[in-house]
Amino acid sequence: MVLIEIARPDQKEKIANNFSKGVANYLSYSQVQKKCAEKLLKMAQKYSYSIPKGEILEIGCGTGFVTKGLIRQFPNHFLDVIDISEEMLNYCLDNLEISETQRELILFRKLDGESRELENNSYSAIVSSFTVQWFEDIVNSLNRLINTLKPHGILLIAFPNTRSFPEWKAMCNDLSLPFTGNKLPDTMEIKQKLSTLNLETHIQEEEITITYNNSGDFFRSLKAIGAGLNLKQEKLSPSEMKKLINYWNYTCFPKKIEITYSVTFLTVIV
């Protein structure tokens, strides 16, 4: 079985630009990202005394949900914080309430999480939330990242998986319209691929439901934070999009609509 590519190299600039535009709105529309960051940090807390000394890499800092937690939980570790969006990096850095001494232990870099530059480093831990679903080649990139870990180092990541958005898919099915959400990673496929490494691996899946006043609000929220970039060739026409929104709202009326994210939490211990 071949893992379908999620994003091509020529799309990385579009992804970065979209998230850069969404910086100002991110905190207002990122409920699921915040919930997942909190859970990921609770998982990381378990390893605060067991990971080896050395740098911790955070991939895709966004506005700093995970970054702030890592600073609290691992105050004596140097943090290498990267993001593909320079605007996101600047926002994260500007909004950290830390001492100058702590700032000296953090390096912010504009860098793609799939960059070969990372292969030259050696990390005690790698943490990432809601980023790897944008990777071009998830399995090979995770393999390369795992290879940068020190003995007893850990990889902790969270990402939305292919079982997300069942409500959106059902509405499209009812109207015989294509589902145009981006292809998301298949948890079991990734688990199967990583099993060849013979490393201690733990996988949890959790459903997180977010409520919106209507379907238009949902689609606007994706666009507002930069996550609305459509990487598929197939798109709905304006009339088809209007049809989908109206039908979805009518079907749920008078209730608000619910959107379910299926999120995978992956831990790999070297």
H helix or E strand, kind and range, residue 36:
helix 31-45
> Quick one: pLDDT at residue 18?
67
Query: Would you tell me which CATH number, out of the four given (3.20.20.70, 3.40.50.300, 3.40.190.100, 3.40.50.150), belongs to the domain 9-164+183-212+261-269?
Result: 3.40.50.150
> Quick one: pLDDT at residue 24?
67
Amino acid letter, residue 164:
S
Residue 162 to residue 1: CA distance in whole angstroms: 16
Domain coordinates in residue numbering, the chain? 9-164+183-212+261-269
Chain Cα centroid distance, residue 93: 19
Token pair for residue 182?
């981006």
pTM to 2 decimal places: 0.89
> Quick one: pLDDT at residue 119?
79
**3-state per-residue secondary structure call for 117-179:** HHHHCCEEEEEEECCHHHCCCHHHHHHHHHHCEEEEEEEEEEEECCCCCHHHHHHHHHCCCCC
* CA-based end-to-end distance of the chain: 25
Token pair for residue 91?
């926002």
Task: For residue 127, give the nearest of 6, 265, 12, 270 by alpha carbon.
Answer: 265
Burial of 90 (0-12, 13-18, 19+ CB in 10 A): middle
Residuewise pLDDT in 10s, the chain (270 residues): 223 333 445 677 777 776 766 676 666 777 899 999 999 999 999 998 899 999 999 999 988 999 999 999 999 899 999 999 998 899 898 888 888 888 889 999 999 999 888 877 799 999 999 999 999 899 999 999 999 999 999 999 999 999 999 999 999 999 999 999 999 999 999 999 998 888 999 999 999 999 999 999 999 988 877 666 677 668 899 999 999 999 999 999 999 999 999 999 999 999
* Cβ count within 10 A of residue 1: 8
Residue 180 to residue 169: CA distance in whole angstroms: 9
Token pair for residue 195?
């099993």
Beta strands 200-212 and 123-129: pairing type?
A: unpaired
Residue 194 to residue 139: CA distance in whole angstroms: 7
Token pair for residue 221?
């929220």
H helix or E strand, kind and range, residue 11:
none
H helix or E strand, kind and range, residue 133:
none
> Quick one: pLDDT at residue 21?
67
> Quick one: pLDDT at residue 103?
84
Our CA angle for 14, 17, 22, nearest 5°, is 125
